[in-house]
Chains A and B, each alone.
Chain A
């Protein structure tokens, strides 16, 4: 989205809604949950999730967290699968431009609040930024233990053998740990946490990240957090250590070799290209003169 369209939206802040859509009572309730979440890293704090003007699964949890922490001076960036120009990202950005009148941006380093779905930006974050994740299923043990009461007990007792069993099973069936997204992590040596469906490529960025990381699950009514500079360890076995994805190729547009690449099918004859999933990172590299073609 161009800067012009964003400022246009901001100029047309809608009447009749509270700042950032949610009423102040709700925001206070969510902020209390956020404080608790930050105080107990990785712990899923229940909160009274509200109906939002978009369907569950589209980021209702992330939107509520963003609405609660947003101030008039903030600059918001929203990404979906790393891109600023996808439907979900464009609409959520427009939503806050209209209801809060905040400045929006696509540039990672200009943003003070970044709401994300499925990615952590490639550009390193700073301690002046907050990263808000949209989370579909906050419970990392959900597919292993269906009873909520029991999963809470397992978290309370730190009984995480079950998670290790699922990793064992992966290696037994596939020869490697086959989880490629939502790869379970242990926060600060305590709770095991679902990092939301980010690729495991992004897991190392969770570790000791200077930015505050907040996770909101609207349908499941849970909030959790990773405070700045907190240890986040991806689970693994001693003889099958955690590893991230690698590509044999560089980004076809900017030539980056250090970013997460999306595979794009270009024709019906098997043609494909790999390009950065982080659109801002890719654009900036190209503006700086890098081209994939030159490599």
Chain B
């Protein structure tokens, strides 16, 4: 299962060190550290309020942590602290190397413009100025995430929930990022749509060699996508390990509770 070893990368692409974030009296994230290797999918699981989304937002550079560092290894092997970077470089990194797929596609999409413009936005932000080329990339990416390219000029509001989520994925992947953060990517979708989306995600992650930090409360999703799992409770990491290991033989009391709470079908 060690995908990183297969890719010959011994250096983590992302190192999180002693990250803490407090909201008033609530310690949302408490001294969390982890490494993520290229091509690896790390699942963060836990119940609502366990701090997993806050952790993701802090790691993705959306929210400044109180203490701790998020170190990203760029394409040239240099380590950069995402929160210490100047705003301009940080934003640039977010347009090129990083991606963020949100639970609610409305948060991650530009609802006022067409699907094609949504996919092309990153390219245009990177300085592409040829309409035909941008449109062709948008067309190709829609096809790749299995949305009918005939919907290229439709606004996202006219697409179904599943298609909106696919569109959000295409919009993120168009700049060929190396590291993608996903917050409940299949949340709010019905099960058959969820299954197809998971298939797609699994295919894309393997094909593109993406490193992914995946936050989910759905252990089924975690088992399908994640190589490694991190179980969170009250802002702390209570257990980490290979996905199958954590799900089949949980050690921490909370993990056992979580795994035993899965509803049998």
Q: Secondary structure of the B side of the interface?
A: helix
Say if the beta carbon of B91 comes within 8 Å of chain A. Answer: yes
Contact A171 B131 (CB under 8 A): yes
Our pick among B88, B129, B132, B153 for the contact of A164 (Cβ within 8 Å) is B129
Cβ-defined contact, A238 with B129, below 8 A: yes
Contacts of A168 in B (CB 8 A): 113, 116-117, 120, 124, 131, 134-135
Q: Is B195 an interface residue (CB 8 A)?
A: no
In the complex, besides A238-B131, A239-B131, 16 extra interface pairs with C-beta distance below 8 angstroms are A159-B91, A161-B121, A161-B124, A161-B126, A162-B121, A162-B125, A164-B124, A166-B113, A168-B113, A168-B134, A168-B135, A169-B113, A172-B114, A172-B117, A173-B114, A240-B131
- Residue numbers in B under 8 Å from A166 (CB-CB): 113
CB distance from A159 to the nearest CB of B (A): 7
- B132 A239 Cβ-Cβ under 8 A: yes
Decide yes or no: A165 and B120 within 8 Å by CB, A237-B131, A240-B131 being known contacts: yes
The answer to whether B130 and A172 touch across the interface, beta carbons within 8 angstroms, is no
Count chain A residues whose beta carbon lies closer than 8 angstroms to a beta carbon of B: 18
Given that A157-B91, A237-B131, A240-B131 are known contacts, is A169 also in contact with B117, CB under 8 Å in the complex? yes
Count A-B contacts at CB 8 Å: 56
Note all chain A residues with C-beta closer than 8 A to B131: 168, 171, 237-240
Contact assessment for A169 and B87 in the assembled complex, using a CB-CB cutoff below 8 Å: no
Q: Size of chain B's interface in residues, with CB distance under 8 A?
A: 23
Nearest chain B CB to A243 CB, angstrom units:
14
Residues of A within 8 A of B117 (CB): 165, 168-169, 172
Once bound together, how far apart are the Cα atoms of A27 and B131, in whole Å? 46
Looking at the assembled complex, report how far the CB atom of A192 sits from the nearest CB atom of chain B, in whole angstroms.
13
Q: Using a CB–CB distance below 8 Å, which chain A residues touch chain B?
A: 153, 157, 159, 161-162, 164-166, 168-169, 171-173, 236-240
Distance of B144 from chain A, by nearest CB (Å): 19
Contact pick for A161, options B88, B114, B125, B135, CB 8 Å = B125
Contacts of B126 in A (CB 8 A): 161
Query: From A157, which residue of chain B is reached at the shortest CB distance?
Result: B88
Q: Are B114 and A159 in contact (CB under 8 A)?
A: no
| Residue of chain A at shortest CB distance from B88 | A157
When chains A and B are docked, how far (Å) is the Cα of A210 from the Cα of B29?
60
Residues of A within 8 A of B113 (CB): 165-166, 168-169
- Closest Cβ of chain A to B145, distance in Å, is 19
CB-defined A-B contacts under 8 Å, sample of 5? A153-B87, A168-B116, A168-B124, A172-B114, A239-B130
Q: Is the CB of B129 within 8 A of A159?
A: no
Q: Please give the distance in Å from B217's CB to the nearest CB on chain A.
A: 31
Per the 8 Å Cβ criterion, residues 120-155 of B in contact with A are 120-122, 124-126, 129-132, 134-135, 152-153
